[in-house]
Amino acid sequence: MAATWIHKYVVYRVDHYLWREGASIDTLITIKEVVDTAAEAMAEVERLSRLQGGEGSEYRWQSAKYYPEGRHPLGSIRPTDEAD
């Protein structure tokens, strides 16, 4: 039985001003929130971008899968499972 998933939309910020040689990408990206629709994500990115004014950071959004019941139902984890 395959796990069921739904789309969610992640709004995140990329802080370019923090970039340094050898810096981890983890220090550059901050997740702001997760919303239910692409329209909400786009509107929030536009709103935050207007407020921020392009000062070394940018806001973006990306779709993601959310597994409300967990990624693998009990008993379905097998060594041959591949990533989506």
Residue ranges per domain, the chain? 6-66
Residue 68 has pLDDT above 70, yes or no: yes
Determine the Cα–Cα distance for residues 65 and 9; give it in Å rounded to an integer: 9
For the chain, the distance separating the N- and C-terminal CA atoms, rounded to the nearest angstrom, is 15
pTM strictly above 0.85:
no
In this prediction, residue 52 carries a pLDDT of 80
For 30, phi then psi, to 5°, come to -125, 125
How far is the CA of 6 from the CAs of 19, 51, 79, in angstroms? 33, 30, 24
Would you give the distance in Å from CA 17 to the centre of its chain?
20
> Per-residue pLDDT averaged across 20-26, rounded?
81
- What is the rounded distance in angstroms from the CA atom of residue 49 to the CA atom of residue 75? 45
